[in-house]
Structure 1
Amino acid sequence: MIEVWAPDATSVDIDFSAPGEALTRAPMVRRDGGWWRWEGDHTAYAAFDYAFVLDGEEPALPDPRSSWQPYGVDGPSRLFDVAVHDWADTTWRGPRNGAGTLGGVIYELHIGTFTSEGTFDAAIERLDHLVDLGVDVVEVLPVAAIPGRWGWGYDGVDLYAVHDALGGPVAFQRFVDACHGRGLGVCLDVVYNHLGPSGNYLGRFGPYFTQTHLTPWGPAVNLDAPGSQEVRAFIIENALRWLRDFHVDALRLDAVHALVDDSERHLLRELSDAVADLGRELNRPLDLIAESDLNDTTMVTSTADGGLGMTAQWADDVHHGLHVALTGETQGYYEDFGGGTRTLPDGGPLDVLAHVLTRGFLHDGSWSTFRDRAWGKPVDVDELDGRRLVTYLQTHDQVGNRATGDRIGASITPGRAAIGAALYLLGPGTPMIFMGEEFAASSPWQFFTDFTDEGMAEAVRAGRRAEFGGHGWAAVDVPDPQSRATRDASVLRWDELASQPHASLLAWYRQLIRVRREVLGTGETRFADVSCAIADGGATFAMRHRAITVSADLERDAVTVSAPGIPDLVFP
């Protein structure tokens, strides 16, 4: 049986065939609630390809809940049996032996550039590197089907499908199983706030979008207008499917501030409760991590206490504080983090850094110059578990959304990079490493796409150039997102591990993670447990987090980590 929701259609037909064989067309029967059903037997086919024809209009369209798009986002769907994989993780209890994601070390990676092959199977061959590093959870950038061969994944249009160029759904199952076999949890980045512009057919099937609210990508996903009940169910079932059928341990939810929902029960609250129910059913921890720029801890407050129930949320302010203190850049949204603004009128960048390391957010109800308004909500540092803020020195966004995709190591010394690593890896947050950061990868991570529509390709090129002008960056030669060379330049160069300064920084990261595990443990922590001191006219900066002291010499670009029971760690 195959079903599709198309409430406004007067007829729906299904086209189906085995690969390479002639198509058969059959009418579908309308059911309650705008659902259509075909009860034919597809089990006789070793592989079953199908698409839907709405009201007799060609071309036939892929299934909105397609698991697999082997012919691309415009082609027919293929049925995928999630039970085909013979799982080896039957004793898996979740990241860190059932402790979950909070407080562990997350490693953010993009399958398409993690290796030159850009596939799940090739990524499996590099998992032992992450184990040796001390990683607890692998966060995989979106895997939903996108136009063309490669891209970041945030232009997905078939949210239930696994992009075929990465290996398709069965390869993703193999990848998750291989991670679990090495003690690594898996967090999947999912995008529910918009769909990509090319190959997006959801609006043809029903009211998946609404003009009631607008987002940076156009009409909002319909979460509170007529027809929203089925749209919400579409999203929630998608999330549960990754956790249940693909054994994923956590989901990172992209830009949740763009999920505009004026209904009585916000989608995130409903999703959080549904995931908690599934976790109890599966008897393992399931986590939700929100990317939110709202600087509001309601996001990580339990639904029972009136919050949205996310396990954790990204903390861009910590990144910005580190970045400005280490690089001196103050353009665009970095302006307030240089100090001397209405936010901290008497402070400089190190004062701002101390603020974010001890409070989590800079904008906690204070003025945001970049936004030209007050931003965020006050933080109770005595109550907030610091692990609920994911902290980082680099991310795919903060690197890839620079004009040339240059990593922080391209503009600072290895010593300064080591200072930044020590401050966030040994701080109270849940730390996240961006792939290659741990060995000062020289490869940039640039924005790349593979749209076949030349009009769309040119629009992306023009949009990138305009974006950098608006952020105050000087005119630069922005890499062509459509060029294969842009994607290829972004692939990690694993041969760098054996050379300097890459090997020394990798050893430093391994040491820091070991100290984090041995001294800080995995229990709750508070930003109130952190104190910072600035001395020598700003030449030295110290952070003390419980029993650990990080002492940075900003003139010599050197750092020392001290803690009871371990020899001092010194870089360089």
Structure 2
Amino acid sequence: MTAVVSVWAPAAHQIELVLPGRGVREPMVAAERGWWRSARELAPGTDYAFAVDGGEPRPDPRSPWQPAGVHGPSRTFDTAAHAWSDGAWAGRSSLGAVIYELHVGTFTPEGTLDAAAERLDHLVGLGVDMVELMPVAAFPGRAGWGYDGVALYAVHEPYGGPAALQRFVDAAHARGLAVCLDVVYNHLGPSGNYLAEFGPYFTERHHTPWGAAVNLDGDDAGEVRAFLVDNALRWLRDFHLDALRLDAVHALLDDSPRHLLAELSDAVAELSGSVGRPLSLIAESDLNDVRMVTPTDAGGLGMTAQWDDDVHHALHALLTGERHGYYADFGSVETLVKALRDVFVHDGTYSSFRGQDWGAPAPAETDRRRFVVFAQDHDQVGNRALGDRPSRVLSPGRLAVSAALVLLGPYTPMLFMGEEWGATTPFLYFTDHDPELGALVRQGRTQEFGGHGWAELYGGPVEVPDPQSPETFARSRLDWEEPARPEHARLLEFYRSLVRLRHTEPDLAAGERPAVDLAADQTWLVMHRGALDVVVALTDAGATVPLPTADAGAPEVVLAWGETDLAHDGTSLTVQGPGVAVLRSA
């Protein structure tokens, strides 16, 4: 189907349509509100670019396809050409779903969406409900995490381009898996970002760690906001995605009367009604403020859910003993109990890492499924000096404890690729920039880790892997031979059993209060979930845990990691440590 292409360039005197290889460079037609439209229609698969006031040809800010990389011409793409087979797909909300985060480039040896689709049966066997893809918007080079994307409407060509994303979503839906896409609206990468040549996409009124902020609240911000909202709707509508994860929304600096997130939430809710299936928005927020997940009609920002880093920090610091950086305020059993019970550890309390009071309490009535928790994610692994996973230092028993508290708790659980078998492959920070920018990234990465106490943590001097080295990227690929090895297969089966319990026990799926009650001392913790108790021994010595007596008799051990010994009268349980036992009341 042929189509007219258009571009927003409100200050331009002339915009030319450039068709590379055809010798075509012709004026476009000025339209309303700063838009320009082509005089000719382009067939699907046509390469094109725009020249602003006689300048160099640039990719379309809304380019659907960048087959020659982020500096090359755009290519038209007909999203309606895919023959979808998911007509019976009813959708899946993110609330309470078991989410699985993966990076397309390192999930498989091939590093493509089609190859990732071939591994979906593994996720089905694990019991995953929703696959979360790290960003696929086109970014410079071949390898990268995707958070430096610059063509937000395109799909990274080395992953297979836009058609491959449609095939992946179709294949996931055929297996009963929902798909969430990580999108980055708070900044663009430094290489291939030509938006400022077209219009006021950025503003010096606000600054973020990446420089001038995206222009969300200026008098000229209307089309910039539409650029982002339209992008989100396009992924959900034309690629049949079920959810979007919004990166670092605290960096969306917006002083307008209606925050961009509220506008986006209402637009997605309208689309959800139109397509007849649930659509979710999951925010990564550092604010520890439930306004993020409060409905817009109650004065909130309307996100379906938000990430809760405090649960990760409380788990990781307790189980590993690490106290550097932002782990300084975490590490006690009491802090873990607070995180599992109250959502945020910093809920108005003093944060030594930030040097100020931080956050606000989460009301007891807030559905705990609105908070996504994890023991691992791409940031918490990849932003370590050596990209090492908890499996480097934690015993299988401690990994089992961590898994049980995440998967059987009241929150929405998320796993990071390979976690389920205790993967030993690192997930490093890698890039593929041009030499000049690559040198700056390499230097910055080294400086970033200079003062974090990594030498003490790792037991000696640390040489940070070169992000630009192909070897750094290659080392980050999952080893799919590991799950079959006995030491990994046992942990994988335990993860499967935990997920199976979550799916079959209604008390474990509940997020409304009373969703969880907890008891603990320094060697053990019990998480009460209705008729089930999750008992964990936190130390190598194990623990004897007191249990409430019940006239109905002793509880049943339905799942365990490590040996257990239940007293005849049901008043205590001894668990080999570190270990886990899940009990069902008699």
* TM superposition score normalised by structure 2: 0.91
1:550 aligns with 2:534: yes
CA deviation map 1:497-530 (0-9, x unaligned): 1103210100000000111111136864246432
**What residue ranges of structure 1 are gaps of 5+ in the alignment?**
339-348
Does residue 1:42 correspond to 2:23, yes or no? Answer: no
Deviation track 1:214-250 (CA, whole Å, cap 9, x = no partner) reads 0010000000013200000000000000000000000
Give, in whole Å, the separation in 1 of the partners of 2:237 and 2:22: 35
Instruction: Look up the SS of the partner of 1:494 in the other structure.
Output: coil
1:459 matches 2:440? yes
Q: CA deviation at 1:557?
A: 7.4
**Partners of 2:416 and 2:89 in 1: CA distance:** 25
1:416 is paired with a residue of what secondary structure? helix
1:13-52 aligned within 5 A: 13-17=16-20, 21-43=21-43, 47-52=45-50
CA distance in structure 2 between the partners assigned to 1:483 and 1:500 by the alignment: 32
Deviations 1:274-315 (A, max 9, x none): 000000000000000000010000000000111000000000
Q: Using the TM superposition, give the Cα deviation of residue 566 of structure 1 relative to its aligned residue in structure 2, in angstroms.
A: 6.7
Q: Could you tell me how far apart the structure 2 residues matched to 1:379 and 1:532 are?
A: 17
AA in 2 matched with 1:469 = G
Is 1:178 the equivalent of 2:171? Answer: yes
The residue number in structure 2 matching 1:541 is 525
Deviations, residues 83-120 of structure 1 (Å, cap 9, x unaligned)? 1110000111102xxxx110010000011100010001
Match of 2:402 in 1: 420
Query: Where in structure 2 are the equivalents of 1:16-415 lying within 5 Å?
Result: 16-17=19-20, 21-43=21-43, 47-58=45-56, 60-95=57-92, 100-338=93-331, 349-381=332-364, 383-415=365-397
1:444 to 1:523, Cα distance in 2 relative to 1, 3 A: closer
Contact 2:135 2:182 in 1 (8 A): yes
Cα deviation code 1:416-458 (max 9, x no counterpart): 0000000111000000000000000110000000002x22101
Contact 2:65 2:161 in 1 (8 A): yes
* Alpha-carbon distance, 1:531 to partner: 2.5
Q: Residue 518 of structure 1 is aligned with which of 483, 504, 514?
A: 504
Question: Mean alpha-carbon deviation: is it higher for 540-549 or for 72-81?
Answer: 540-549
Secondary structure of 2:450's aligned partner: helix
- Kindly state the Cα deviation for residue 144 of structure 1 after the two structures are TM-superposed: 0.2
What residue is the counterpart of 2:7 in the other structure? 4
Change (3 A) 1:462 1:558: farther
Listed one character per residue, the Cα deviations across residues 171-227 of structure 1 (whole Å, up to 9, x for unaligned) are 000000000000000000000000000000011110000000000100000000132
**CA deviation profile, 1:57-81 (whole Å, cap 9, x unmatched):** 12x1000000100000000000000
Q: SS at 1:542's partner residue?
A: strand
What are the Cα deviations for residues 476-515 of structure 1, in whole angstroms up to 9, with x where unaligned? 1101000011011000000011103210100000000111
Structure 1 Cα separation of the partners of residues 374 and 326 of structure 2? 17
* CA RMSD in angstroms, aligned pairs only: 1.8
Which runs of structure 1 show a deviation greater than 6 angstroms over 4 or more consecutive aligned residues?
A: 557-566
Contact map agreement 2:59 2:72 (CA 8 A) in 1: yes
**d(CA) in 2 for partners of 1:478, 1:570:** 35
Cα 1:426–1:522 change in 2 (3 A) is: closer
What is the CA–CA distance in structure 1 between the aligned matches of 2:349 and 2:438, rounded to whole Å? 40
1:570 is matched with 561
- Residue in 2 that maps onto 1:491: 477
C-alpha separation in 1, matches of 2:154 and 2:69: 11
| C-alpha distance in structure 2 between counterparts of 1:211 and 1:85, whole Å | 41
* Alpha carbons 2:320, 2:393 under 8 Å: kept: yes
The aligned amino acid for 2:91 is G
Amino acid in structure 2 at the alignment position of 1:548: L
Shift in CA distance, 104/55, structure 1 to aligned 2, threshold 3 Å: same
Q: Identity rate of aligned residues, in percent?
A: 58
1:430 aligns with 2:429: no
After superposition, the Cα gap between the structure-2 partners of 1:532 and 1:521, relative to the gap in structure 1 and judged at 3 Å, is closer
**Distance across 2 between alignment mates of 1:52 and 1:557:** 68
Tell me the distance in 1 between the aligned counterparts of 2:254 and 2:391: 40
Please say if residues 5 and 41 of structure 2, whose CA atoms lie closer than 8 Å, have aligned partners that are also in contact: no
How far apart are the structure 1 equivalents of 2:515 and 2:240? 35
- Residues 353, 56 of structure 1: CA spacing in aligned structure 2 closer, same or farther, 3 A cutoff? same
**8 Å CA contact retained: 1:142, 1:154:** yes
Q: Which moved more, 1:212-221 or 1:459-468?
A: 459-468
* Contact preservation (8 Å) 1:558, 1:570: no
Amino acid at match of 1:401: N
Supply the distance in 1 between the matched residues of 2:531 and 2:368 (Cα, whole angstroms).
Answer: 16
Quote the Cα distance in structure 2 between the aligned partners of 1:504 and 1:188: 30
Amino acid at match of 2:67: P
- 1:12/1:140 CA distance change after superposition, 3 Å: same
User: Whole-Å Cα distance in 2 between the matches of residues 249 and 206 of structure 1?
Assistant: 31
What is the DSSP-based 3-state SS (H/G/I as helix, E as strand, rest coil) of the residue aligned with 1:442?
Answer: coil
Distance 1:269 1:144 in 2: 23
Q: CA deviation at 1:547?
A: 2.3
* CA offset digits 1:526-548 (Å, max 9, x no partner): 4643232233xx22222222222
Read off the aligned partner of 1:125 and give its amino acid letter. E
Q: Secondary structure of the equivalent of 1:501?
A: helix
Partners of 1:560 and 1:386 in 2: how far apart?
29
TM-score, normalised to structure 1, is 0.93
Work out whether residues 67 and 77 of structure 1, in 8 Å CA contact, stay in contact via their aligned partners in 2.
Answer: yes
Contact 1:559 1:570 in 2 (8 A): no
The 1:406/1:94 distance shift into structure 2, 3 A limit, reads same
Corresponding residue for residue 576 of structure 2: none
Measure, in 2, the Cα distance between the counterparts of 1:216 and 1:298.
23
State the partner residue of 2:493.
Answer: 507
Tell me how many residue pairs correspond in the alignment: 548
